[in-house]
Amino acid sequence: MRIGLNTLAVTARSGGDGMYLQDLVAGLQGLPSGHRFRLYCSGENQALFPVAAANWQKDVFRLRWRSLIYRAMWEQARLPAIVGAAAVDLFHAPVNVMPLRLSVPAVLTVHDIVPFAWPELIPLPLRLYWRYFRARSAQRARHIIAVSESSKAEIVLHMNVPAAKVTVVYQAVGTVFHDCPPGVPSTTPPYFLWVGRPYATKNVPMLLRAYAAARREARFPHQLWLVGSKGWDEARIQQLIGTLNLREYVRRLDFVVPDTLPALYRGATALLYPSLSESFGRPVLEAMACGVPALVGAGALPEIGGACVWPVDPQDEASITAGILRLWEDASLRAEMAACGRHQARTFTVERMARATLSVYEKAVST
């Protein structure tokens, strides 16, 4: 089978979706198979996807990479003909949207359904684009990969597709997280950690209010480190940090390269991740792999963390505050959660993800 795999939506700053795709490409290359793979890359992102296997090749295109509109239009208008000329048997669109005019069967990975479940939290132009193209892509795809059971249920509910068309393939984290280095130097003040891009569903304003309440109650020395690229909620977050008099205690770090993340996790007392909605929640898996306890909100987070995480109601400030205080004061609980989390994270392997994805490919071309 000849398989085309589209990477064009991914950049070095893409976060979870990009790391998922890099892990998938590496995992598929590590599997023995008689299939041939063709990567569709840009000049800007091709270095993210090293190809060593003889049955892999890259097609590299020069695009105006900083323009989402240009890239999306190019994928819809130009990529179908390129894929058709390459005579691939199956096309995988791994980031939510596929070219709608493809003439070959396609597998689509859907990473989130926020435009459908939480439309009021997304700026109108993006909401309209994502709702239209994600819904049409889900209808056109031969098969859909969901990254959790929670996500599958929402895809079936909001995208009007049958459950039999959707297969759950959990994401994974590589050895860089399972073999975490020591944390930041001991001279650093203790800190809680949050990782991601602060979109509205990430619930960072509520986290800030809960953290402020916990500080008022316990007067602990812990800072709160917010790590990740800026999102459209950034201005509101910065204003709230000032309103809550947290400038001295909240440290905002912009995007950091993935190889530096493990040390940040290992230095943290706990990951605080009270999202309103998550289709997977990669930072929680990364934290568990590094032996760091995690406080989690809704969506797939309790599913991924199992009994190893501390669940809270993400819409209840008091619930989050209580969780922060419990993780701060109970060292034995943190140790139990860390050991449990390491064990849980070992089940989410890159090889397992790659094998399951390959099985979806084979199923898609046989139906």
Looking at 231-240, 296-305, 353-362, which range is the least confident one?
Answer: 231-240
**What is the model's pLDDT at position 176?**
85
* 96-125 pLDDT tens trace: 999 999 999 999 999 988 888 888 888 888
Whole-number Å distance between alpha carbons of 148 and 145: 9
Alpha-carbon gap, residue 197 to 231, rounded angstroms: 6
Which of residues 121 and 131 earns the better pLDDT score?
Answer: 131
Q: Please, where are the H alpha helices in the chain?
A: 16-29, 68-77, 79-85, 114-117, 124-140, 149-159, 175-178, 204-218, 234-243, 261-267, 282-289, 301-305, 317-329, 331-345, 350-366
Whole-number pLDDT of residue 119: 86
Beta bridge partners of 60: 41
**Interval 3-13 mean pLDDT:** 91
Query: Residue 271: how many CB atoms within 10 A of its CB?
Result: 26
Contacting residues for 360 by C-beta, under 8 A, at least 6 apart: 107, 143, 145, 167, 169
Band of pLDDT at residue 185, cut at 50, 70 and 90: low
Distance in angstroms (rounded) separating the CA atoms of residues 296 and 79: 39
Check pLDDT > 70 for residue 187.
no
Homologous superfamily of the 175-345 domain (CATH): Glycogen Phosphorylase B; (3.40.50.2000)
pLDDT of residue 65: 56
- Exposure letters 311-333 (e unless 16+ CB within 10 A, then b): bbebeebebbbbbbbbbbeeeee
Least confidently predicted of 197-201, 333-337, 357-361: 197-201
Lowest mean pLDDT among 99-103, 120-124, 172-176, 278-282: 120-124
If one counts every other C-beta atom within 10 angstroms of the C-beta of residue 132, the result is 13
Residue of 272, 299, 284 lying closest to 341 (CA atoms): 284
**pLDDT tops 60 at residue 353:** yes
Closest CA to 20 of 348, 334, 256: 348
More confident: 44 or 305: 305
189: left (phi over 0), alpha (psi -120 to 50) or beta: beta
163 pLDDT band (50/70/90 cuts)?
Answer: very high
Q: Which of 11-20, 84-93, 203-212, 329-338 has the least mean pLDDT?
A: 11-20
Burial status of residue 365 (CB atoms within 10 A of its CB: 0-12, 13-18, 19 or more) = middle
Q: Could you tell me where in the chain the CATH 3.40.50.2000 domains are found? A: 2-172+349-366, 175-345
- What superfamily would CATH give domain 2-172+349-366? Glycogen Phosphorylase B; (3.40.50.2000)
Distance from C-alpha of 277 to C-alpha of 272, rounded to nearest angstrom: 14
The pLDDT tens digits of the residues spanning 74-87 come to 999 999 999 999 99
Distances (CA, A) of 352 to 45, 51, 304, 358: 25, 20, 15, 10
Mean pLDDT score of the chain: 93
Q: What is the pLDDT of residue 66?
A: 62
What span, in angstroms and rounded, lies between the C-alpha atoms of 161 and 157?
8
The tens digit of pLDDT for each residue in 56-65 reads 999 999 876 5
Quote the tokens at residue 333: 């609980």
Tokens read off for 169: 């393939």
Mean pLDDT for the stretch of residues 121-138: 89
